[in-house]
Amino acid sequence: MRKKAKSDKKAAIPGFKRTPQRLAILEYLDGNKSHPSADLIYRNVSKRYHSMSFATVYNTLNTLSQAGAVRELTIDAGRKRYDPDTSHHHHLICVSCRKIVDVPDAIAVDLPKGSARDFTILGSHVEFYGKCSACRKKQSS
Partner DNA sequence: ATAAATGCAAAGCATTTGCAGTAAA
Partner DNA sequence: TTTACTGCAAATGCTTTGCATTTAT
Write the binding mask 1 to 40 for its own copies: x where contact by CB under 8 A, - elsewhere.
----------------------------------------
Stretch that binds DNA, among 18-26, 89-97, 108-116, 117-125 (CB under 7 A): 18-26
CA dist., res. 80 & res. 106, Å (int): 25
Q: Is 100 helix (H, G, I), strand (E, B) or coil?
A: strand
51 interface partner picked from its own copies, DNA, none, CB below 5 to 8 A per type: DNA
Ranges within 58-97 binding DNA (CB under 7 A): 58-63, 77-80
Contact 135, 94 (CB under 8 A): yes
Instruction: Give the binding range for DNA (CB under 7 A) out of 50-58, 87-95, 101-109, 114-122.
Output: 50-58
For residue 5, count other CB atoms closer than 10 A to its CB: 11
Query: With contacts defined by CB under 7 A, how many residues of the chain interact with DNA?
Result: 27
> In this structure, are residues 103 and 91 in contact, taking their beta carbons and an 8 Å threshold?
yes
Q: How far is CA 56 from CA 23, 42, 131, in A?
A: 12, 9, 34
Handedness of CA 130, 134, 136, 138 (dihedral sign): negative
Interface residues with its own copies (CB under 8 A) are 72, 74-77, 80, 92, 94-95, 101, 103-104, 106-112, 115-134, 136
Interface residues with DNA (CB under 7 A) are 15-22, 37-39, 51-56, 58-63, 77-80
